[in-house]
Structure formats: C-alpha cells, structure tokens
Amino acid sequence: MSVFKLWNFPGGLALPGHKEASTRLALRAARVPERLVFPLLQRDGRNATPLVAPGDRVLKGQAIAGGEDPLNPPLHASTSGRVRAIEALPLPHPSGLADLCIVIEADGKEAAVEFEGIADYRDCAPEDLRRRIHEAGIVGLGGAAFPTAAKLAPGRRRIETLILNGAECEPYITCDDSLLRHRAAEVLRGAAILRHMLQAEQVLIAVENDMPEAIASLERALPEARGENVAVVRVPAIYPAGGEKQLIRALTGREVPAGGLPADVGAVCLNVGTAAAVSRAIVQGEPLISRIVTVTGRGVRRPRNLDVRLGTSIADLVAQCGGYTDEAERLILGGPMMGLSLPRDDLPITKSANCILVAGRGETVGPRQALPCIRCGACADACPAALLPQQIYWYGRSEQLDRALDYRLFDCIECGCCDLVCPSRIPLVQQFRAAKGQAAARQREREQAEHARQRFEARQARQAREQRERADAARRKKESLGKAAAPEIREAIERAKLKRMERPSTTGSRTAPTGSELQPETTDPMNTYSSRQWR
C-alpha cells in the first residue's frame, strides 16, 4: 500500500475500542424469526405507504411498503409468510412511542420472488442503475439511513472521489469490520459499480488502522478490482474519524460547507455495507432484506456479529448470542457515544440498526448530575465540527434559539465528544438534541401557519368573488326585466302598484303583514340552508 497523505480534522478523541469481544466469533446468519415487524416510519418523519393488506401472502424480497418518492425507498419482506396486521407497535425510537408497523408471520418456506440481476453493469446507464438501487430499498447502512439513490444523483457536480467508509470509529461496533473480513469481494464489486455510476476518478476505502484483519482481507481481494483505481487507506483510530464530513476532510483535505453536501467538494461518501448491498442489488437483483448487526457488551453472554433479517426483534438476537448476563444494565441501539437507550427489547431491527449494545456496569455514561459550566472550553477543543458547544448550550438553556442557530446548532453531529470531556459532566448533546427538536417544531409550526394563512386568504377571495357575482347577477336580472318588459307587463305592474296604494284606505286600520312577521325567525338549520339556496 502506498503512503497516502492524510489531513487532520479538528477535535476528536482517542477512545478505547472494546472491539475484540464481538470479533472473536465469526459472522453468522441469524435464524429467521417467526414474526417480523417493519415500522412504516422512515427517516425525517416520512411514512412509507403500505402496499400489502392484512391477510396477504408475501414472498421474500417482495416490496411491502414504499412509493415513488426518491427520499423514501421501499421496504421489502425479508422472508415469505402472511401479513398478520398493520398496527401501532412500539418503535426503536428515542421517544418509545408506538406507530404503524407491518407485522409478518413467517411460514418458514423462504419462498422468494425471482431476483433478476444484471450480468454486466457497464452496459447499463447510471440512471437505470440508480432506479434499481432505489427499488431495492437501499439506504445508508452506516446508521443515518439516508437513501442511497438520492446520494448517487449529484446533479452537475463532478465527483472526483468515491469514499467507502469502513472507518468504524465508535467503540464496540464491529459490523463493518466483520463485513470486510468476510465479504471484501462484495464490497469491491459494489465499489466498481458505484464508481461506474458516478464516473469517479478514484475510490478510497477508508479503514481504521486498528482493524488489521479487515485490511488484510481487503488487500487479498484487491486484485479483483484491478483497473478500478481502488485504494485502501488506513485512517488513525480517532473518534469520530468515520463521520462523513470528518472522513472527507481527512482524506481530501476539503471541508464540506455547512448545509452543503459532500458532492460540493467533489466527493461521495458511502458506508462499506451500503456498497455490498448495492452489489447484491445489481448483480443478484436482491433487495435490502438483511444487514449485519453487532450484538455486544458485557451484558450479553456471547458477543458476535450476526447477519440479521430486517424486522427481527432485538430480544431474539440477544437470545441467539446466549442471552443476557447478570451484569446487563442498559440496552442501547448503536454505540455508547451516539446510540439511543431503549426501554424494552421487543423492538425490531431496521435498516439503520448497526449495533445492539447491552452495557454492563460502567460501560456507558448513564444519567448523571451535572454541575454548572465553568467555561473551560474543553468541549470546543474536542468538537470535531469546530463548534462552540458551551455557547450553544448557553443559548439553548436560556431559550435563545436564534442565537443557538447562529452558532451553527445544526452542524452538530451529536458525536458526544463534548459530553465525554466536560469536567462538569453536563449532558451537552442532550441539550443540543432538545434544541434541534425545538427548532424543528418551530419550523413545522411556521409552515402550518403559512398554509393556514393561504387557505384563509383563498377563502376570503372566493367569498368576495361570489358576492360580486351574486350582485352582478341581480343587477343584470333587474336591467333585463326593465328593458325587455312588454307594454302589457308594465301596465300590469302599474296596476298592482296602484292597488297596493289604495288598499290601506279600503281595509281600514289593518296593515299588510310584512315578511318578517309572517315567517318567525327559523332555527331549523335545514330551513336556513334551503332558503339560502333558493334565494
């Protein structure tokens, strides 16, 4: 391997890896459970539309939810069976709230739809390949679950570098490591396909330098990707080197602008697992129905990596790893730094689930009593996004949301470095998440208000128009009556007028009743409506 010039990104921490436990045992396919759950809620609050109904028979690989929205790739049944229900079940979400899920009862037959692969991807236009990737339901498997097809449409921007992210920087997580150890060839095939699609000059596969087996396995497979200009790059094991912006900075020296995309600096960054899924989708025609999940921590008896069908419950995975030990204290989806604490284990594995950490005592930092900020600035030194966490924290706490946004709240990647170095043990990231939620809620409220305003104004305009039209119609009627009336009619009207003037004298004190006296005010809504209609 040639010596590759690496750049530094600001901040970051060297953390103990804790990766040995889960890599001791080889990757194994998890058993197919009897019941699979597929939450419809996708990224950014988008909901997938179900394509099946309760009672339907589904085949392995059949699309069960989705649509044409490029930011909402379809979901597929990960085994054959029957749709038992579409019901609200608890989600693997920090809120712990329930939302609609498709529940499939497996029949154990593993009957699959016919997968159609492409013999040579080079014959296909990038557009066609992109459609296939969307239809295969592929999203980023690094944890953020961003739709891959959308990432592969850089528009007019020229892509020089395709980066495959195997720098699994968060402690405990080893799913990319075990993927590279066991399926390096698949990753390289995916790299070739992606390079063809993006017309990228070079492919860099970034691997942390504490993953020697993965690097060796990749290098063994490298001759297969001859002519594709693929290089394996060792990056220092500094958390969060595997963050997208940090990795691009480390490899290319360029900084992705705030609010911008990697494509703005000529790079596209995808997880190695995503590349392998792309290879399976294009070469074998197989949609994304499984992923590798690390089950680890001192709270689980036999930590290991499992190739898991999507929809499998977490409890099922823990059971396959020997069950919980007495030490088990907290259940975390993801790693100890960025993962989310789960209140229960009957939750399904989704496309974004990379690790189940059953933490023992002292393995994670639980809720703790914070002391006041002493403004030491340690958080700013550790921040890999070069932010000022202490300032954002201050503005977030004092409800000065606009100031927090000015200090680039939304550039925070929630890596947790500031939390870890804070001598006052302030839960900074929790504050940032709360502030982000507030900002998002405010944005939603504004959009709803704008929508209501438009509807109100449209209604007012319509009412004004209707009134005008009614007035016009009444005037026209009057005019046409006055003009077109024949002499006999006019005479008749004159006679009627005369009669009316004569009547009071002939009938004495009796006066003609007026309309309002004849018709007492009606309270029957039906009447009000019909009279209005026939006016």
Partner 1 sequence: MLAVIVVVLLFASFGLLLGHAARRFRVECEPIVEEIDALLPQTQCGQCGFPGCRPYAEAIAEGRADIDQCPPGGEDGVKSLAELLGVEPKPLDATRGETKPKAVAVIDEPVCIGCTLCIQACPVDAILGAPRFMHTVIAAECTGCELCVAPCPVDCIRMEPVRETAATWRPPEPAAAQP
Interface residues with partner 1 (CB under 8 A) are 41, 45, 47, 91, 93-95, 97, 99, 369-373, 396-397, 424, 426-427, 430-431, 433-434, 436-438, 440-441, 444-445, 448-453, 455-460, 525-526, 528-529, 533
Provide, rounded to whole angstroms, the least separation between the CB of residue 39 and partner 1.
9
Quick one: how far is CA 84 from the chain centroid? 26
Distance CA 246, CA 223 (A): 29
Provide, rounded to whole angstroms, the least separation between the CB of residue 231 and partner 1.
40
* Residue with Cβ nearer partner 1 (278 or 428): 428
What letter would DSSP give residue 305? E
Provide, rounded to whole angstroms, the least separation between the CB of residue 434 and partner 1.
4
Phi, then psi, of 331 in degrees rounded to 5:
-105, 125
CA-to-CA dists, residue 219 to 178, 187, 188, angstroms: 15, 12, 10
* Residue with Cβ nearer partner 1 (132 or 436): 436
* Residue with Cβ nearer partner 1 (450 or 472): 450
Distance CA 368, CA 333 (A): 20
Which tokens hold the place of 183?
């399926």
Q: Over the range 458-469, which residues count as b (16 or more CB within 10 Å of their CB) and which as e? A: eeeeeeeeeeee
CB distance 325 to 301 below 8 Å: yes
* Residue with Cβ nearer partner 1 (134 or 436): 436
Provide, rounded to whole angstroms, the least separation between the CB of residue 84 and partner 1.
22
* Residue with Cβ nearer partner 1 (308 or 435): 435
Provide, rounded to whole angstroms, the least separation between the CB of residue 68 and partner 1.
20
- Neighbour count for residue 98 (Cβ, 10 Å): 13
Distance CA 495, CA 483 (A): 19
CB distance 141 to 277 below 8 Å: yes
Which tokens hold the place of 101?
């899920």
* Residue with Cβ nearer partner 1 (205 or 428): 428
* Residues in a beta bridge with 89: 99
Which tokens hold the place of 1?
């391997």
Provide, rounded to whole angstroms, the least separation between the CB of residue 440 and partner 1.
8
* Residue with Cβ nearer partner 1 (371 or 386): 371
* Residue with Cβ nearer partner 1 (128 or 450): 450
* Residue with Cβ nearer partner 1 (459 or 475): 459
Provide, rounded to whole angstroms, the least separation between the CB of residue 449 and partner 1.
4
CB distance 138 to 276 below 8 Å: no
| Burial of 294 (C-beta count, 10 Å sphere; 0-12/13-18/19+) | buried
* Residue with Cβ nearer partner 1 (42 or 246): 42
Residue for token pair 């009897």: 34
Provide, rounded to whole angstroms, the least separation between the CB of residue 330 and partner 1.
17
Provide, rounded to whole angstroms, the least separation between the CB of residue 352 and partner 1.
14
278-282: long-range contacts, CB 8 A cutoff, minimum separation 24: 278/133, 278/138, 278/148, 278/190, 278/193, 278/194, 279/186, 279/187, 279/189, 279/190, 279/193, 280/136, 280/186, 281/132, 281/133, 281/136, 281/138, 282/117, 282/118, 282/121, 282/129, 282/132, 282/133, 282/193
Provide, rounded to whole angstroms, the least separation between the CB of residue 435 and partner 1.
8
Distance CA 456, CA 521 (A): 30
* Residue with Cβ nearer partner 1 (97 or 258): 97
* Residue with Cβ nearer partner 1 (451 or 465): 451
Provide, rounded to whole angstroms, the least separation between the CB of residue 395 and partner 1.
13
| Burial of 494 (C-beta count, 10 Å sphere; 0-12/13-18/19+) | exposed
CB distance 168 to 208 below 8 Å: yes
Provide, rounded to whole angstroms, the least separation between the CB of residue 458 and partner 1.
8
